[in-house]
Amino acid sequence: MKRIRIDLAYDGTSFHGWAAQPGLRTVEGTLTAALETVLRHEVKLTVAGRTDAGVHASHQVAHVDVEDEAWARLPGRSDRTPEQAFLTRVSGVLARDGGEAGGPARLVTEVVLSGATVVSQDFDARFSALGRAYRYRIDDRDIPGVFTRHIALRTDALDERAMMIAGADLLGEHDFLSFCKPREGATTIRTLRKLAVSRPELGPDAGLLVVDLEADAFCHSMVRTIVGTLIEVGRGKRPVTWPKERLEQQSRDRGVIVAPAHGLTLEMVDYPDPQRYAERAEMARRVRENPLT
């Protein structure tokens, strides 16, 4: 078996999240079907971070194990490398996804593969990662942008300075139970390395209010709950001390506010040098899956 690292992006608008679910269209389900069509054997995807329904990714990472024979036959009679053939063929199947039953397939670009690389068996897309970075986009301008409605939350004017001050108290290593949907047996302790609130003057996000967050990992709903909390501060409905107070409560109660999914995008997954893949994966498994040991 060869382990293949897959770099991809997707528009999460019409997907019910990453994780495969019976009867629902998901990113994992769609990509798995495409891979099995091309490789002609069953596969299991491991992803760096499962995104919720409606959440986008400009750079997601997954890995899959491919049988040696299936990998070798990918180029066929062409002079392409297996990596090039993999990208071309899987992308071709993905481009025909979404056709109505009994009708013609339609071209879609909701899932785009940007890279396929043979890596060592030590690589684990989830546990080898050093960190993840997300951006939440908010359009609080008097005149909203018509082309941002699927990737940015439309809201009334916000005080970004108050949001930045409030967010500073969340930096560092904490138990983020108040901001997470906890999973039984898993820790909610995370290290939030960056929380920045800004208004870019240039680039595709110019004029928007963006919240950038980086951490070693994020638990379920953590990013959207932090952003939802900061938005309440930005609206002046809560004091700048409220996020810190919520953090110290360590209780996910009825006061929790979760920002809508469509404003959130996974921007980056960071990995160590290849020789540290196994070391990092073992450390992350021990912390995430066995928090009491």
Catalytic: 212? no
Rounded Cα gap, residues 2 and 105, in angstroms = 31
* Cα–Cα distance, 256 to 245 (Å, whole number): 12
Going from the C-alpha of 232 to that of each of 149, 196, 239, the distances in angstroms are 20, 16, 9
Residue 261 is encoded by which pair of tokens?
Answer: 């999914």
252, two tokens: 């996910």
Question: How many CA atoms within 13 Å lie on the side-chain side of 124?
Answer: 15
What letter does residue 186 receive in the DSSP assignment?
A: -
First to last CA, the chain: 32
C-beta separation of 160 from 234 below 8 A: yes
Distance in angstroms (rounded) separating the CA atoms of residues 66 and 90? 13
Contact at 8 Å (CB) between 125 and 7? Answer: no
The Cα 33–Cα 90 span in angstroms is: 10
Which residue is catalytic, options 7, 11, 52, 205?
52
Which DSSP helix (H) or strand (E) runs through 82?
Answer: helix 82-94
Residues with catalytic annotation? 52
